[in-house]
Amino acid sequence: MATTDFHLSGVYAPVHDELTEFDLPVTGALPPELVGWYLRNGPNPRESSAHWFNGDGMVHGIRLENGRAAWYRNRWVRTESFGKSEHPMYNADGTRNLHNSVANTHVVNHAGRTLALVESSLPYEITTDLETVGAYDFDGELADSMTAHPKICPTTGELHFFGYGSITTPHVSYYRADAAGKLVVKQPIDVPGLTMMHDFALTADHVVFYDLPVVFDKTSVGKGMPFQWDASYGARLGVLRRDRPEAGVRWIEIDPCYVFHTLNAFDAPDGRIVVQVMRYDHLWWAGHADPASSLWRWTIDPAAGTVTEEQLDDMPGEFPRVDDRFAGSDVRFGHMTSVDHNLVRRYDLHANTTTEHHFGEGHIPGEAVFVPAEHGEGWLLTYVYDTAEDRSDLVVLDAGNVAAAPVATVHLPQRVPFGFHGNWLPEG
């Protein structure tokens, strides 16, 4: 895998100052019921990094209240390894140093805690003012890394997640915390190798794991991401029943591919399981250019032990999101961002139609987070980088009419580097 420095320039280039600015200028009108914090995480290396995924985590946050953009802040997540010249990945006894973290991938809130996540370590708790509290291990119950893409069940309030990367077996383990944050399920998952398992899927009745052929490659250590495509590894989906996790996973083979992100998944009335993902034909395959991902549907038939695979769209994109209040059910609408085309695309998954918002040439959107409205559908929030002006805005779109002009644009005091994931944290 060749390394480049694209992630240190242009829209990706890190910012060096931690700012706090109040009463930000707004074009348009912020909906007054937007009261809370929009927090988004991403890599922001203090000096350099061998790969985009390795930069120090920085959270960019905006506080909205009563039709005002009350403040903007950006803060590095100050993990125990932040700023240290030496931060070993392993302890003296050979176990992983789970406090060693860049905490740069996601921000989620569960059971009253806001967690900055990266899949190689423990979560780090932060405040809504973006101050770092410290590593969080579920009161000593978690001795494993935590995926950056946990799923919160909107019905039970449970937090579902997994950890991967242990050199010894099991290489992957599944965990569940109840609505109060107590870890209640720990279940080993049998995979044959050290795969890079970035995301998974959750339905009302099932958990679906992706065992795909991007695997640990020790020759790549220190040269960027220590993973490579292994055409001999194979690919499969693993189905686990939520009501009987101790029964283990049933694996079903699929065509080789890679998936970073799930749009949604649900249980169909006929017993099948539908999973919607942004799928790559391959990733990090030596001698091959990395393709773009696009929206696909996997339909799993547990009774027959088969998976039907279908491409739903050919538009390149990433960072898919739905209304999280209905995640795990047959959600009608989903959204993804196409950086190549400077747009956010909205999918009507029942009618098989799309609409989109074009931000214009040189205006690059990030992940669009859905925020529900008290009346009507809701809004999409995304940071947008203006390449000509070298600055960023927070843009608020009407989710029910994404093609329309923005509802509001909050003008930020500095550029927000292109990053990964975030969430809207409503007050109360």
Q: Which residues are annotated as a binding site for Fe cation?
A: 149, 198, 261, 421
CA 220, 195, 276, 101 torsion-angle sign: negative
- Helix (H) or strand (E) holding 271, with range, is none
Q: Are 41 and 56 in contact (CB under 8 A)?
A: no
Q: From CA 230, how far away is CA 225, in angstroms rounded?
A: 14
* 331 closest CA partner among 279, 267, 379, 271: 267
Kindly give, in sequence order, each residue whose CB lies less than 8 Å from that of residue 304, ignoring residues fewer than 6 positions away: none
Cβ atoms of 417 and 22 closer than 8 Å: no
Distances (CA, A) of 277 to 95, 389, 421: 33, 34, 16
How far the first Cα of the chain sits from its last, in Å, is 46
CA distance 169 to 402: 47
CB 136 within 8 A of CB 123: yes
Please choose, from the candidates 187, 142, 207, 194, the residue with its C-alpha nearest in 3D space to the C-alpha of residue 165: 194
Nearest to 275 by CA among 283, 288, 284, 266: 266
Cα 65 to Cα 30: distance, rounded to the nearest angstrom: 9
Cβ burial of 361 (10 Å; 0-12, 13-18, 19+) is: exposed
The SS3 assignment for 401 reads helix
Task: Provide the residue type at 289 as one letter.
Answer: A
Per the annotation, binding residues are: 149, 198, 261, 421
* Spatial distance between the Cα atoms of 124 and 58, rounded to a whole number of angstroms: 12
> Does residue 170 have a cis peptide bond before it, meaning omega lies within 30 degrees of 0?
yes
In this structure, which amino acid lies at residue 306?
A: T
- Tally Cβ neighbours within 10 Å of residue 306: 13
